[in-house]
């Protein structure tokens, strides 16, 4: 057996016995590449994901709502940072990943290319977008790559709080006026299908799923998680008193699950290609924030260099 074959065998034994691969362990080049792609895309999503809600910080309807929203948006920044750190353990540099994002060479979640038009959107993003994220990310806590799985544990705890704050905001609005109830329903109508698209393309069009599942980076297919999310969300919508904009949505007693319609996959492809309603604005905003922060990075580097010189004396 060649050295590489022995290493590969050892790697698969670790993965298949549900132990963790750590940064210094040998790993196939494809495993490293897939993880960098997925973790970087995930980190970028957390950072770009601050924008739709961050947009409402100055217009929150009360001090209480403003404090909650500020905490949530800051949490998303934290998630981005844990994830960039996890990616760095694979030998990439966060600065390079940021460059790839702002140059359009790496993706971020399709969901953040839709605008947040009303304050109900803040609630619906918490309920459905963070809800979909939790559904997707809880299994990632058992991902075979140690730093990613461990980052996900903390992220999921915080996302659960985000989901509940969104639902609580919507429950409050639904107990309000007819106009507030209509605002919630209109928001649900806009976000439902994009939330379903967060899980990625259907299984038969998902090029990465099979290999990622074999390596236990992913634990479920895109369609399995989408179904789980639909089943979880319908009873919550009933309690809230809203409906989902899908005429094909109905309980299927044979499968003990809800049947549901097909998302518009052409729209998904367009959004992922950068043709979403807010795609240009999101990247332009991220680029401007990065450029505005150049002096902070330069000052931090100068400070660190000065300390290093002091330590060397």
> Judged by CB, which is closer to ligand BYC: 77, or 302?
77
For the record, the structure tokens of 157 come out as: 């705890």
For the record, the structure tokens of 263 come out as: 């998302």
Residue facing ligand BYC at closest CB distance? 49
For the record, the structure tokens of 310 come out as: 């002091």
Asked if 133 interacts with ligand BYC (CB under 6 A), we say yes
> Judged by CB, which is closer to ligand BYC: 209, or 227?
209
CB of 289 vs ligand BYC, minimal distance in Å: 15
Asked if 121 interacts with ligand BYC (CB under 6 A), we say no
For the record, the structure tokens of 207 come out as: 């090029």
Residue spans of alpha helices (H) in the chain: 3-16, 29-48, 50-54, 63-88, 94-102, 119-124, 130-137, 146-174, 178-197, 209-214, 222-240, 265-270, 279-292, 294-312
Asked if 187 interacts with ligand BYC (CB under 6 A), we say no
> Judged by CB, which is closer to ligand BYC: 169, or 181?
169
Residue 169 CA, chain-centre distance (Å), reads 21
- Applying CB under 6 A, the span of 105-113, 179-187, 275-283, 300-308 interacting with ligand BYC comes to 105-113
The C-alpha R_g of the chain, in whole angstroms, comes to 21
Report the 10 Å Cβ neighbour count for 30. Answer: 10
CB of 11 vs ligand BYC, minimal distance in Å: 19
> Judged by CB, which is closer to ligand BYC: 158, or 259?
158
- Cβ neighbors of 79 (< 8 A, separation 6 or more) are 43, 46, 151, 155, 158
Asked if 198 interacts with ligand BYC (CB under 6 A), we say yes
> Judged by CB, which is closer to ligand BYC: 211, or 252?
211
Q: Which of 201, 215, 230, 263 binds ligand BYC (CB under 6 A)?
A: 201
> Judged by CB, which is closer to ligand BYC: 141, or 234?
141
Query: Is the separation of the CB atoms in 103 and 149 below 8 Å?
Result: no
Asked if 37 interacts with ligand BYC (CB under 6 A), we say yes
Coil, strand, or helix at residue 199? coil
**Distance of alpha carbon 252 from alpha carbon 247, whole angstroms:** 14
CB of 26 vs ligand BYC, minimal distance in Å: 23
**Distance of alpha carbon 288 from alpha carbon 171, whole angstroms:** 36
Q: Which of 97, 128, 129, 230 binds ligand BYC (CB under 6 A)?
A: 129
Which stretches of the chain bind ligand BYC, using CB under 6 A? 37-38, 41-42, 45-46, 49, 76, 107, 109-110, 129-130, 133, 136, 197-201, 206-209, 212, 218, 222, 272
């Amino acid at each position: 057996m060649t050295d590489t074959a022995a290493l590969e065998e050892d790697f698969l034994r670790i993965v298949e016995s549900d132990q963790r691969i750590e940064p210094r362990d040998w790993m196939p080049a494809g495993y490293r590449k897939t993880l960098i792609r997925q973790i970087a895309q995930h980190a970028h999503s957390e950072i770009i994901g601050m924008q739709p809600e961050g947009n409402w910080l100055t217009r929150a309807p009360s001090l209480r709502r403003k404090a909650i929203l500020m905490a949530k948006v800051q949490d998303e920044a934290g998630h981005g940072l844990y994830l960039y750190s996890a990616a760095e353990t694979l030998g990439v540099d966060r600065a390079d990943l940021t460059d790839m994002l702002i140059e359009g060479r790496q993706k971020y979640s399709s969901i953040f290319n839709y605008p947040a038009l009303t304050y109900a959107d803040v609630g619906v993003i918490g309920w459905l977008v963070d809800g979909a994220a939790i559904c997707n990310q809880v299994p990632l806590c058992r991902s075979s790559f140690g730093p990613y799985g461990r980052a996900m544990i903390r992220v999921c705890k915080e996302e659960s709080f985000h989901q509940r704050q969104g639902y609580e905001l919507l429950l409050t609005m639904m107990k309000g006026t007819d106009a507030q109830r209509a605002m919630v329903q209109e928001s649900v109508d806009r976000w439902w299908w994009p939330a379903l698209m967060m899980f990625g393309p259907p299984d038969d069009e998902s090029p990465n799923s099979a290999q990622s599942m074999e390596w236990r980076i992913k634990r479920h297919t895109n369609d399995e998680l989408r179904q789980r999310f639909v089943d979880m969300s319908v009873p919550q919508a009933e309690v809230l008193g809203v409906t989902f904009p899908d005429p094909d949505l109905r309980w299927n007693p044979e499968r003990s699950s809800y049947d549901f319609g097909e998302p518009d996959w052409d729209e998904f492809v367009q959004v992922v290609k950068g043709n979403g309603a807010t795609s240009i604005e999101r990247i332009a905003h991220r680029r401007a924030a990065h450029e505005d922060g150049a002096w902070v990075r330069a000052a931090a580097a100068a400070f660190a260099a000065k300390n290093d010189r002091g330590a060397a004396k």
